[in-house]
Chains A and B, each alone.
Chain A
């Protein structure tokens, strides 16, 4: 069985057993992007931490399985890495400039959609109107 191997720039040993040196090796799957897209979510003015206020968004990926996904939250010209529950937490525009408020995100997937929930953080603090762009790379491989 033929094996197709392509080394990364700077690597010279095509017989290497260290697969990290290869850009592509046909014994292993490359991590392919099934879909890259985004959704905008607005946390409306007056949203207050502790009141149960939140906003939700959905991205339809329709892959039929729960994919590996790789999300970022863009706000104010910055793209935040989303790594966990209640993460990222971003400083957003408050109603009262003297009472800073944050926004936190939960992001999770099922076999058809990515679900995003954002809510204000900083107990009792109230957010102004804030719109976020959640971008996500869906990898063409299932989590399970």
Chain B
């Protein structure tokens, strides 16, 4: 028997004809299922360990709070960075006693199914093929579960930064976008620009620096360069997906 498919179109759309990527929900796809959203503070030695005890390596997503109250992704870590094993998530912060927002997904990093966990919850649950949503208890065997929900998309936005060199050949340019949410939302930011293809962020090894921050009002993207590392008029496009889920 073919499993029934449950589709929800956005307001004004048509669930029967809209492209899959334009639907609000489609039960034939998997989702990044949120197991836990938490904010922790690192210790005086910049260390933060979060015990998840899942028995597998979960996917996770982190943001760090800056001194001015905005939040950023840690784009340059040196050796180490943030990683998970089957018991904990290990985070090296840039400052002692720094707040970190961590979303732990029920999905293992390889999205594999498993058994033995008892962490499925929520009134709407969609099991992966071959599993029974009414019986299974391990979130890895679900495509969707409403208990912790999933990331929801507010909008996609392109922010373009044009480089302006000063008289010494240096640049420092920012563009701000007011997202209008009144809280600090989760966000993905990707970049395309001179000398680089599109990829996820940019950091070390370049003679210019690109970063972004987000607060309760604005998403701000920023490009700064050393002496004639860039040319006047160079363009960087930041492609952001602003989510409705909270950092703070």
**Is B76 touching A78 in the complex (CB atoms < 8 A)?**
no
Q: Within 8 Å CB of B183, what residues of A?
A: 20
* Cβ of A51 to closest chain B Cβ, rounded Å: 16
Q: Which of B23-31, B38-46, B169-177 contacts A (4 or more CB under 8 A)?
A: B23-31
Q: Within 8 Å CB of A34, what residues of B?
A: 21, 29
**Is B146 touching A83 in the complex (CB atoms < 8 A)?**
no
Q: Which of B6-14, B130-138, B216-224, B225-233 contacts A (4 or more CB under 8 A)?
A: B6-14
- Kindly state the separation between the CA atoms of A143 and B74 in the bound complex, as whole angstroms: 20
* Cβ of B244 to closest chain A Cβ, rounded Å: 4
- Kindly state the separation between the CA atoms of A66 and B122 in the bound complex, as whole angstroms: 32
B235 within 8 A of A: no
B82 within 8 A of A: yes
Interface size class of B (residues with CB under 8 A): 35 or more
A132 within 8 A of B: no
**Is B152 touching A25 in the complex (CB atoms < 8 A)?**
yes
**Is B150 touching A23 in the complex (CB atoms < 8 A)?**
yes
A32 and B31 in contact, given A8-B147, A91-B79 (Cβ under 8 angstroms): yes
A19 and B152 in contact, given A25-B24, A78-B85, A80-B81 (Cβ under 8 angstroms): yes
A85 and B79 in contact, given A23-B147, A33-B29 (Cβ under 8 angstroms): no
**Is A29 touching B152 in the complex (CB atoms < 8 A)?**
yes
Q: Which single member of A8, A87, A135, A143 contacts B198 (CB below 8 Å)?
A: A143
In the complex formed, the residue of A with least CB distance to B203 is A84
A78 and B83 in contact, given A6-B146, A31-B153, A137-B107 (Cβ under 8 angstroms): yes
Interface residue ranges of B227-246 to A (CB < 8 Å) = 237, 239, 241, 243-246
A28 and B200 in contact, given A20-B245, A20-B246, A135-B109 (Cβ under 8 angstroms): no
**Is A85 touching B203 in the complex (CB atoms < 8 A)?**
yes
In the complex formed, the residue of A with least CB distance to B12 is A1
Bits for B150-176, please: 1 = Cβ < 8 Å to A, else 0.
111110101000000000000000000
- Kindly state the separation between the CA atoms of A81 and B64 in the bound complex, as whole angstroms: 14
Q: Within 8 Å CB of B109, what residues of A?
A: 72, 74, 79, 135
Interface residue ranges of A53-91 to B (CB < 8 Å) = 66, 68-72, 74, 77-91
* Cβ of A9 to closest chain B Cβ, rounded Å: 4
Interface residue ranges of A1-37 to B (CB < 8 Å) = 1, 3-4, 6-9, 19-20, 22-34, 36
B80 within 8 A of A: yes
**Is B197 touching A110 in the complex (CB atoms < 8 A)?**
yes
Q: Which single member of A30, A90, A144 contacts B150 (CB below 8 Å)?
A: A30
Q: Within 8 Å CB of B124, what residues of A?
A: 6, 23-24
**Is A3 touching B11 in the complex (CB atoms < 8 A)?**
yes
**Is B8 touching A79 in the complex (CB atoms < 8 A)?**
no
Interface residue ranges of B60-101 to A (CB < 8 Å) = 60-62, 73-86
B178 within 8 A of A: no
**Is A84 touching B149 in the complex (CB atoms < 8 A)?**
no
B47 within 8 A of A: no
Starting from the known contacts A80-B83, A142-B21, 17 additional A-B residue pairs (CB-CB under 8 Å) come to A20-B183, A23-B147, A25-B152, A28-B152, A28-B153, A29-B23, A31-B243, A33-B29, A68-B241, A70-B61, A74-B57, A77-B86, A84-B75, A88-B77, A90-B81, A109-B198, A140-B20
The 4 A-B residue pairs whose C-beta atoms are closest, nearest first, are A108-B199, A23-B149, A23-B146, A36-B111
